[in-house]
Structure 1
Amino acid sequence: MNLIGEHTDYNDGFCMPLAIPQGCDATVSAVDDPVLEIVSAQRDRPVEVELARLKPGALSGEDAWAAYVAGSIWALIERGHELPGLSVTIDSDVPVGAGLSSSAALQCAVAAAAADLAGVHLSREELVAVARQSENDFVGAPTGGLDQLASVFGDAGHVLLCDMRSLSVESLPFDLDALGLTLLVVDSKAPHQLVDGAYAERRASCEEAARQLGVRALRDVGLDDLEAAMVTLDSEVLRKRARHVITENDRTLAAAELLRAGQVPAVGPLLTASHVSLRDDFEVSVPEVDLAVEVLLAFGAYGARITGGGFGGCAIGLLEPAQARAAAIGVEGAFAGRGYATPASFTVTPARGTHRLG
C-alpha cells in the first residue's frame, strides 16, 4: 500500500509504500508433465497450460486471473532459468480490485516459491525485476514497478522511501502502535482496474510532458521549475498531469524528512494535498473514494487520500484509534446515504515483505 507518492513511479520519481499484513501464500511443487497447473482458493476451477505455450496472451477470459501466476513462471524461463512442470496453489487475503497490489503480492510469491523449488537464487532486486516483467510484458499492465518493490522489500514497522530511477530503498520508521496512531484503510468497493486505457493514457501524457520539457522524466523537473513548465506545455491536460507528478515528488520527499524527524502526524496535510492533486490534476479518483476521504477528515484524521492507481479502490486516513473506529462507522453511513456499495474498513501496520514460510 502506498502512503504517498502516487503515479510517480513510472516518472522515475519518489514513492513511499509499505507492505501490509494481508498477503498471498504460494505453494509450488514439481509435476511429471511439462505443464503449469494453477489452483486458487479464491477460484472455482483450476487452470492448466503447457509450459511450451506460455506466452503473453495465452490466458484470457475466465482464466485471465491466472496470467499473473503464469507470467511469473514465464519471466523466470525468459531469463534462462530451467523449471520443471509445476503445480502452484495460491491463497490470498489481499482484497482484489482495491488498489492494494494484490497482483504484485501474487507475482512475487509465485516467483519466489518457484525459484526456491528450482534452486535458483534470486536477489531481492532480481525478484522485483521478474515480477515487474510478468506484469508489464505478460499481463500487459504498464505499471512502474512500485508494487513489486514494496512487496519484496517490505520492512515491519517502517515505510520505504523508493527512488524509482535508481531503485534504491530507504526504510523510514513508521511504528504506529508506539505513537498511538492508526492507518485506516477504506475499501470503497468501487472496482479498480489498471489494464485499461485510462492508466495507459496517464502514463503517455506524462511521457509527452517530459518530452516537451526536454527532460528524461518528470522527476527531473523541480518545484522551482513548475511555473516555467506550465508555460512550456501545450495543453491543459499535460499541465495538470505534470503538475501532479512534480508536486507529488516534492510532497513525498517532504514526508520523508518528517518521518526521519519522528514527526509522523505532521505528514497528514501532505496526504490530504496528495488526494486533492490526484483528484483534480491527475483525475484518478471517483466519488466513492472522495466521500471516504471527506468523512475521514471530518472525523479528525490528520490526513487522508486515495491510494493506489486510482479509478476506484481505497482511501487511507491517519487517525488516532478511537477516531478510526468512529470514522469507519461514519463512512459506512455516508455510503448508505448515497446509495453506494457497503465499504470495508480495516487498519494496517507495516509488515515484512516476500519471505519463505516455515
Structure 2
Amino acid sequence: MTDTAFEIAFKNAYGRAPEGAWAAPGRVNLIGEHTDYNDGFVLPFAIPQTTRAAVARRDDGLLRLHSAAMEDGVVELRIADLAPGATEGWARYPAAVLWTLREAGHDVGGADLHFDSTVPVGGGLSSSAALQVVTALALTELYGVELSRQDMAVLCQRSENRYVGAPVGVMDQTASACCTAGHALHLDVRALAQRQVPFDPEAEGLVLLVADTHVKHAHADGAYGERRAGCERAAELLGVPALRDIAPADLDAALAALPDDTLRRLTRHVVTEDQRVQDVIELLDAGRTAEIGPLLTAGHASLRDDFQVSCTELDVVVEAALAAGALGARMTGGGFGGSVIVLTTAPTAPDVAQAITRALPQAVPFSTAPAEGAHRLW
C-alpha cells in the first residue's frame, strides 16, 4: 500500500512519482560484539525502526539523493565521478552502494532516492547499515539484478569498508538484510552460515528495552580501527587465522603467549564473547530466555574492562537497570556511545525504565521485539 505522505515527499523533491518504496531495519545485537571481524559468531535481531527509500530510475548518469532528516536539499552526484573519498556526509553511504554494485559488474544506473528513517542515528542500532541495505535492495530490484540477501550484505559491507573508510564487519548489514520476525539471527561470520533462532521474549513474560544514551559514536574513527588491528595482530602472533580459532580451553595459554596487556585483553574478550553467543543460543533453544540475562551483563563487563569500548553513560544505564531488577543489560553496537539493551520481566519493566531515565535523563527507553528484515513496501 502506498504511503501518500512518503510519495508526496518524493514528488516534492524530484517533481515526479517514485517507482516503488523499500524499507530496511536497524538492528540490536543481542550478544556477540566485536566478534564479526574476528570471523566469529554474532546473534543480532532486526528492530521495528526502519530506513525507507522511495526510488525511481534515471538514464542520464546522475544519482540524486534526498533525506527528510537533512537540510541540504537534493545531493546530485555524477555516477562517473563516484570514487572512494569523493563524497562527503550522509550521501556517501548510498553513493558507496551504487559504486560498489557497478564495480562488481552489475548493470545498475542512476536513480532518484528519497529517504526517511526512524532508526536513531549514532545510537549503535545500525542506522548506516539500514541506509545501505535499503539502497541496495531498491537498486537491485529496480534494475533486475539477482543478488542473494547474504551477498547483498557482503556488498554493503565492502562499500562501507572501501568507499566510506569504516573497517566494519558484516554483521550489521546481514542483520538488516536477512533477519526474520520473531527470531535472532545466528551468523557464523567466517562461513557466512545462518540460522534463525526463535526469540520471542514477550511470550515468556519478558520485555526488551533499548535505551539510547545519545552519546554519538563514529565507526570510521581511530579507536575502532585500533581494536581491529590489535585483534589481527594478536591472531598473527598466536599463529591462527583469526581469534575465533582460539578455543576457550586454550585461552590461558594464548594469553600467556602474548607480549602485552592490550593484546591479552582484546583476545580474552573475543574468545569469551564467542562462547557467550553459543551459551545464549543454547538457552534460547531450550526456552530458557530469562536465563540469558547474566550472559548479557557479563558481555558488558568484558566490553567495558577488556575491550574498553564502553563509556560513562553506557555504564550508568547498565548499572541503573540492574539495580532496578533487570535480568541483564549491556551496551550494544560498536561502543564509545550508543545504546544499551535491557532484558527484564514485564512487571519490573516500568521500574527499570524509570530508573534508567532517572540515572541518565536523555536515555528514554523504548520496548522492542524481533522484526522482519529488509523488504519492499510497494
TM-score computed with the length of structure 1 as normaliser: 0.96
Mean CA deviation greater in 320-329 or 199-208? 320-329
Please tell me whether the aligned partners of residues 324 and 351 of structure 2 are also in contact (alpha carbons under 8 angstroms).
Answer: yes
Mean CA deviation greater in 259-268 or 29-38? 29-38
Give aligned pairs, total.
350
Aligned residue type for 2:53: A
Residues 106-158 of structure 1: per-residue CA shift (max 9 Å, x gap):
10000010111111111112211221111111111101110011111111111
Does 1:51 find its partner at 2:76?
no
Residue 84 of structure 1 and its aligned partner are, at CA, apart by 2.6
Give distance in 1, aligned partners of 2:102 and 2:243: 34
Q: Please state whether the residue corresponding to 1:273 is helix, strand or coil.
A: helix
Aligned residue type for 1:34: G
Does 1:321 find its partner at 2:346?
yes
Residues 302-337 of structure 1: per-residue CA shift (max 9 Å, x gap):
11000000000001110122322222221111125x
Aligned to 2:197: 172
Residue 31 of structure 1 and its aligned partner are, at CA, apart by 2.3
Aligned residue type for 2:119: V
Q: Please state whether the residue corresponding to 1:19 is helix, strand or coil.
A: strand
Aligned to 1:290: 315
Give distance in 2, aligned partners of 1:133 and 1:214: 26
Could you list the structure 1 runs, at least 4 aligned residues long, displaced by more than 4 angstroms after superposition: none
2:69 to 35, 42, 52: 42
- Identical counterparts, % of pairs: 51
Give distance in 1, aligned partners of 2:164 and 2:348: 40
Aligned residue type for 2:305: D
Please list every run of 5 or more consecutive structure 2 residues that lacks an aligned counterpart in the other structure: 1-27
2:132 to 93, 102, 107: 107
Does 1:196 find its partner at 2:224?
no
Residue 255 of structure 1 and its aligned partner are, at CA, apart by 0.7
Residues 237-277 of structure 1: per-residue CA shift (max 9 Å, x gap):
00000000010011111111111111101111100000000
Aligned to 2:264: 239
2:43 to 16, 20, 25: 16
Aligned residue type for 2:374: T
Mean CA deviation greater in 241-250 or 176-185? 176-185
Give distance in 1, aligned partners of 2:359 and 2:40: 35
Does 1:25 find its partner at 2:52?
yes
Aligned residue type for 2:294: P
Give distance in 2, aligned partners of 1:159 and 1:84: 35
Aligned to 2:5: none
| Matching of residues 133-212 of structure 1 within 5 Å | 133-212=158-237
Give distance in 2, aligned partners of 1:76 and 1:344: 38
2:141 to 116, 119, 138: 116
Aligned residue type for 2:317: A
Give distance in 1, aligned partners of 2:248 and 2:144: 47
Aligned to 1:339: none
Give distance in 1, aligned partners of 2:117 and 2:213: 19
Residues 36-62 of structure 1: per-residue CA shift (max 9 Å, x gap):
0000111112211100001111112xx
Give distance in 1, aligned partners of 2:154 and 2:261: 35
Mean CA deviation greater in 6-15 or 344-353? 344-353
Give distance in 2, aligned partners of 1:262 and 1:348: 19
Give distance in 1, aligned partners of 2:170 and 2:107: 25
Q: Please state whether the residue corresponding to 1:182 is helix, strand or coil.
A: strand
Q: Please state whether the residue corresponding to 1:291 is helix, strand or coil.
A: helix
1:227 to 246, 249, 252: 252
Give distance in 1, aligned partners of 2:275 and 2:246: 10
2:363 to 328, 339, 343: 343
1:276 to 283, 297, 301: 301
Root mean square deviation, CA, Å: 0.9
Give distance in 2, aligned partners of 1:321 and 1:73: 44
Give distance in 2, aligned partners of 1:206 and 1:176: 33
Aligned residue type for 1:49: L
